[in-house]
Amino acid sequence: MSDTRTRNHVEDRDARTAERAEEERSEEHEEEHVCPECGGTLVSDESHGETVCADCGLVVDEDSIDRGPEWRAFDSAERDRKSRVGAPTTNLMHDKGLSTNIGWQNKDAYGNALSSRQREQMQRLRTWNERFRTRDSKERNLKQALGEIDRMASALGLPENVRETASVIYRRALSEDLLPGRSIEGVATAALYAAARQAGTPRSLDEIERVSRVDKMELTRTYRYVVRELKLEVEPADPEQYVPRFASDLGLSDEAERQARQLLRNAKHAAIHSGKSPVGLAAAAVYAAALLTNEKVTQSQVSEVANVSEVTIRNRYKELLEAEDAGGVLA
């Protein structure tokens, strides 16, 4: 019984000691954030390495340690590029880039070549690491689709934001179980086509079909299904969105590009663009603008760049010039 009382007494004493120590720490913490002169709030001026009072301006501490990075960044892209704590997460990888990779170089940390036994061991580790990265069929599906999206986007010269958007669209389609009865390549191509339209950098169906592993009929059918089921907001393609790419590929001047845009605006005002292919209208506008600015471009060159027939270009550019004459002098 006496041992029990002694043990309880010791525990109570330790508890009181810990409580007093906690109170002292909290009081010291409060004193650190209070000005010793006026009792005002202290703030840290990291640019000068000082701690000053916000009320009276007293410098309480100086030459403090800067625990931030030694570099400066002015936007998120520059911050990601300069950071040395690992790559940011991305939707372009099935695991969002959070898993590890074992390099293909058969060298150790000092750059020395591995022995044959070590190379065999590393190859086995790579195999198992790859198997663990894709644990189920959905992850294997996602890995294949995202690789397909990246391949097609690279072939079409689409920017990073379009690839990210296409990856998000495909992930949504996979999570909402839209893939049964449809090919992985078809849904991936439809997601990329929709993402390009949403980002204002559209590609024609013929361009998409040229780099895809599905035909145009399957692509259009899958695209309509994905847009309808996911309720994506995709505006009709604007012919003006194709003009900069066509003008750049043909080496036209800024004046010709401006004239092409003006021709298309006049066509919209005259309502002759309704029911016509935006790619054909854009190609015809670029060709007509080149004629108006005395720049040498042939119909076959425009046809090759825009992937439309020369007949379409001839028909559309005459309609554009007629609408221009009816609308008055170029702005």
Residues in the annotated binding site for Zn(2+):
35, 38, 53, 56
User: At 45, which helix (H) or strand (E)?
Assistant: strand 42-45
**Cα 306 from Cα 317, distance rounded (Å):** 14
**Cα 128 from Cα 130, distance rounded (Å):** 5
- Residue ranges of the binding site: 35, 38, 53, 56
Beta carbons of 194 and 227 less than 8 angstroms apart: yes
Residue type at position 246: F
The 8 Å CB, 24+ separation contacts for 173-180 are 173/226, 173/229, 173/230, 174/138, 174/141, 174/142, 174/145, 176/229, 176/230, 178/225, 178/226, 178/229, 178/230, 179/141
In sequence order, what are the residues at sequence separation of 6 or more whose Cβ sits closer than 8 angstroms to the Cβ of residue 63? 49
Beta carbons of 171 and 91 less than 8 angstroms apart: yes
**Cα 174 from Cα 184, distance rounded (Å):** 10
Beta carbons of 134 and 140 less than 8 angstroms apart: yes
The token pair at 37 is 């002169």
Tokens 């020395």 found at = 112
First to last CA, the chain: 104
The token pair at 276 is 């016509």
